[in-house]
Structures are given as C-alpha cells and as structure tokens.
Chain A
C-alpha cells in the first residue's frame, strides 16, 4: 500500500446524509494528530449533494511529502463503503493492488470476495455496523450512525493510524459531548472487524 512518496489515498463511498465528508475530515485530523503523517488533505466529491444519493469523499494522508495533487482519487489504497447498496464492481476493481476494502455489511469478507468476484490481491475488512446501530438504537434522523464506528474498523487495517488518534480526532471535530459518545462507538466497532487477506 501507499505509493513511493508515502501517500495513502482513501475514498469513502456512501449516501448523502451518512456523513462521508465528516468521516474524511476525521481521518485527516487523526492522521495529523498521530504525528505519523506530514501532510493531509480531505475533500468531498464537489458540487451539489442530495440526501440519499450516492456520494464520495476523499482523503490523502502523506508520510514524507507535501501533497500537491488536487485530482480526484481514481485508484484508492483504501475504499471505505458505508452503505453496501452503493458498492459495485467498478469500485472493487479500482482498489489498488495490496489495497483494502472496508465495508459495512452483514457478509463475511469471504462472502464479499466471492460475491464481488475479487481476484486481485487486496485485504477485505467487514463489520456489520448497521446491526450494531440497530441493536443499540443508534439513529439520527432515521439513519443509523455509520461514519464514526467504521473509523474504528479503519484503524484495524492501517498500522500508522491508531484508534487513540481516531478517538481524539472525533472529539476534536465533533466537540466534547458528541465526540466522546462517537469515539466510544468507534472503539466498540473496531472489535467487530472481520479481516481477510486475499
């Protein structure tokens, strides 16, 4: 993973209203806080966004070098899918060799691999965050809270980004009260992670 310059590129796929942009913001905040990354950039798929429509958010975190590219990420190191209904073959195929697919799903990584016919060498991390939200009654405006718990799953796949930094970043971005609650969700969700090296 990561290119020669030590830049890790992350794309978050979800639906408008699920907080993809906030997730990207927390990722770069955490990466910067961790001290392991020299430069970070996060941006939404630009333009008008609608609730429920498929949306993307992007994050680049760089270990050694300032980030100058402003282009959208075509081939991510990490694809993070908040809503399985937006996942398609193109998203899967676009993940770089040795990259990671993180997905909120009731399927196991093995089932995901078969279902999406994944043939290239990537890691798959799945966690059933929707069920986690359902069990704990975690809803905002009728939508389950996916964006902060799935960040816990991210830390299980990316060595340089620890859970502690993610938790701190969530509190920094969301404020103390909401942040502490959401960071506890990230921690709990990280334990639901199922990992498969393809």
Chain B
C-alpha cells in the first residue's frame, strides 16, 4: 500500500465497523464491553448519520444480543454482532443455538483475557474457549486483514453450501485500539463481491430445507430413535458443512484476492520464509505477527526457520497442515491461551493433526502473553532456542512451560524459600 491510494488510518475496531457498513448489515445487536465497544459505537454512528440502513437493537446483555441476532438472522436478514471475553462467555449457550440453527451470523471478537483475576488486556482464551460450538473461526494479524476478512466472512457464512455462523477474531488493544492504514473499497465493488443474502429457511415451510427450523426440529413426536428425532442427523450435517467449508473459505479468499488484489496466504494459513525451513513457528494473531521478527532475527544467525500463521482455526485445516509439516524437523507452538490441566490449545490441535504423518516433527509448545503480558521477540527467540536444545537431547518436557513470567519480580515466590510443588 502507498499513500497515493485511498486509505484511512484507523483502529482495528473501526476497520471491522467499516466492513459491516460495506457488507450492508441489516441488523446489529450488541452490548458494550472493552475492548470491543468502538466497533458498535462506529456502526451506531453510521446508522444515525444515514450511511448505513440497519437496525441497531439495544439489549441488556450479551446473551440477549446474540438471541436478537439469532431471531433476526432466522428471518433472513444479514446480521452482525461483536464482543469480547466475558461477553462471549455469556453468549455461550446461544452460540450453540446459532450454529445448530445454521444461521450465517458474523461476529467479531476483540480477544481479551477471561477473569479472574480481572484483566481487560488481550489473550486468545476467549476465542479458543468457544472452539466446539460450531462456528467457523478466523484470526487476523493487522487492521487491513480485519476489514478484508470480515467482508469474506459474510460471503462464506452465507454460502448455501456452508450456512454456518462465523467468528473473526483479532487481538484486543493490539489491533482493536491500534491505528494503521486501511484501504477501504468502493461500495459498488463490495456489492459485486457479496451477493444479497438468500433466505435459507422459511419459518412457515418446513420443506424448504428439511430439518432446518430455528424453533425446534420438525416432527417432535416420540419415535424409536429417541425423543428428539433428527438431532443426531442434524448435528452430523453441521459437522459435514464445517468440513466442506474449507474449500469455500479458500474459494472466497481467492476470489477476494483476484478482485481486490490483497491476499492472506492461501486463506487458511500465511506462510513466511517457509521455502527452505526445517524449523517452524506455529501461532495465530498477535503472536504470529511478532514471530515474523523472530524469523528475521534467527535467519540472520543462520537458523533456517519459517512461520505458519494460522488464519482458519475452525474448521481445523488438518490436511493442509499435514502437507506443510510433512518434511519439517522441528515445530515450536506459541499459545496465548491454556487448555487448563493440559497445555496450549493450538499445540494440542496441531499435534493431533500431525499424528497421521509418517515422519512426525519434534514439537514443543509454550504459553506466552496471557492477560496482555507483552510478547517480545526476544521471549519467543528463547523459546525457539530452548526447543532446539531439547531436540538435540531428544528430551520431552511433561510440564507446560510459560515464557515471560515475573514470579520473582511480582513476589509470587516466598522470599528465601524454594519453589515447592510448582507453587
């Protein structure tokens, strides 16, 4: 991008709002929460100023916000919401309903740590926690990517072969409140890119799409197979739709790249200096963008290292990742989240995907930057170097390791005492 083009310097939240305006969303229901609030404030501004013909539904909680979105989307209008952290947790039940109802709602998460202790700062715990609700999920590394991914999200979610609600996540503050140049596309070109939403269901006619009814599954009478006939089949169809949606994600990404001239890897992941890499960092969002510096610094020292920045988290692109990692010697996964009692969620997911490989790489995961602790390139470099050392010794560390802790500095260790039982 250069300054001669049409651009605005804006925060990530506003990039999300401009995409919603471009996509001509019709109903927005949301409840304010830091660091998401400026998205909906900006959309309210667009509506009040007459730039966007949409209805803003004011509600008393995030749960109600998503309920309103479910109801609106079920009538066949383009529907959007945004939230963070505790707001997303409060939506959990309705997330499952929205997915079960196959409603193409698009939601942004300005990611934020989940309490307790209280934190308004970023990590990926909130986004990963809703992994299993049945939403498509994508991550972004800069504000342009937020704008572009949101535009793609509407088209993907509303595709008749998909019809799955979609989450687009970006780091709270680190993108949500950071100013960057964003190129905004003319309305006519966006209109060409996102076709009008087709009603995929009709509340009055159960035969339009069999089994799809946002109120209840059809024919609720007790049958041999159980008291909720069709539930099992219905959930099967959701899983199949998710599996097939990978192709659609790639297709829409490629179409976008062709039309607007901006691309994000292959739409599934973004590879950086992977050509001759034998060691690879795997991460999402802010951790991935910080890793790009790590790659440059370590390459200068002669280490053949590359980055896979995952964009599509759900459906998890296991097949594509196996293809990438099949000849890789070492993998370092940095998680800005924890699957408490086990390890980083991204780490678990990648290992599971790579299990089928004949020659599995040496793989090691670290936790970084919870609750907004600054993730510095040097911290990540230490993780990479430690992994290389461990691999030489072929040593597996059982305990999940956290990088960048300040236990001593913050007086978490008893003065003069030893660390006992990990406390």
Contacts and interface: CB of A to CB of B under 8 A. Distances in A.
Interface of A: 24-25, 28-29, 32-35, 38-44, 46-48, 68-72
A32 B1 CA distance: 10
Nearest to A173: B9
A46 B175 CA distance: 11
Interface in B1-49: 1-4, 7, 9, 35
A40 B178 contact: no
B173 A46 contact: yes
Contacts, number: 70
Contact of B3 (A32, A69, A70): A32
26 contacts: A28-B179, A32-B181, A33-B3, A34-B3, A35-B2, A39-B180, A39-B181, A40-B9, A40-B179, A41-B180, A42-B9, A42-B178, A42-B179, A43-B174, A44-B177, A46-B35, A47-B120, A47-B121, A47-B173, A48-B120, A68-B289, A68-B290, A69-B377, A70-B175, A70-B289, A72-B374
Interface of B: 1-4, 7, 9, 35, 120-121, 141, 171, 173-175, 177-181, 286, 289-290, 292-293, 372, 374-377
A38 B9 contact: no
B177 A43 contact: yes
A41 B179 CA distance: 6
B51 to A, nearest CB: 17
A133 to B, nearest CB: 26
B9 A46 contact: no
Given A46-B121, A46-B173, A70 B286 contact: yes
Contacts of A46: 35, 121, 173-174, 177, 372
A35 B179 contact: no
Contacts of B3: 32-35
Given A39-B1, A42-B9, A44-B177, 13 more contacts: A28-B179, A33-B3, A34-B3, A38-B2, A41-B178, A46-B173, A47-B121, A68-B293, A70-B178, A70-B286, A70-B289, A71-B290, A71-B375
Q: Which of A28, A43, A68 has the most chain B CB atoms inside 10 A of its CB?
A: A68
B377 A43 contact: no
Nearest 3 CB-CB pairings of A with B: A46-B173, A43-B178, A42-B179
A70 B372 CA distance: 11
Contacts of A40: 9, 179-181
A35 B2 CA distance: 8
B120 A29 contact: no
B415 to A, nearest CB: 25
Nearest to A31: B3
Contacts of A69: 289-290, 293, 377
B9 A32 contact: yes
B70 to A, nearest CB: 32
A124 B347 CA distance: 48
A32 B293 CA distance: 22
Contacts of B376: 71
A174 to B, nearest CB: 13
Contacts of B372: 46-47
A70 B285 CA distance: 10
Contact of A71 (B9, B179, B374): B374
Nearest to B181: A32
Contacts of B181: 32, 39-40
A70 B290 contact: yes
A71 B377 contact: yes
A71 to B, nearest CB: 5
Nearest to B171: A70
A5 to B, nearest CB: 8
Contacts of B171: 70
A43 B179 contact: yes
A68 B177 contact: no
A43 B141 CA distance: 15
B283 to A, nearest CB: 12
A46 B120 CA distance: 9
A25 B372 CA distance: 22
A25 B9 contact: yes
Given A32-B181, A39-B181, A40-B181, A70 B9 contact: no
A46 B4 CA distance: 31
Q: Which of A24, A68, A70 has the most chain B CB atoms inside 10 A of its CB?
A: A70
A168 B222 CA distance: 72
A173 to B, nearest CB: 8
Contacts of B290: 68-71
Contacts of B175: 70
A138 to B, nearest CB: 25
A82 B174 CA distance: 24
B378 to A, nearest CB: 9
Nearest to A37: B3
A97 to B, nearest CB: 19
A70 to B, nearest CB: 5
A38 B4 CA distance: 11
Contacts of B286: 70
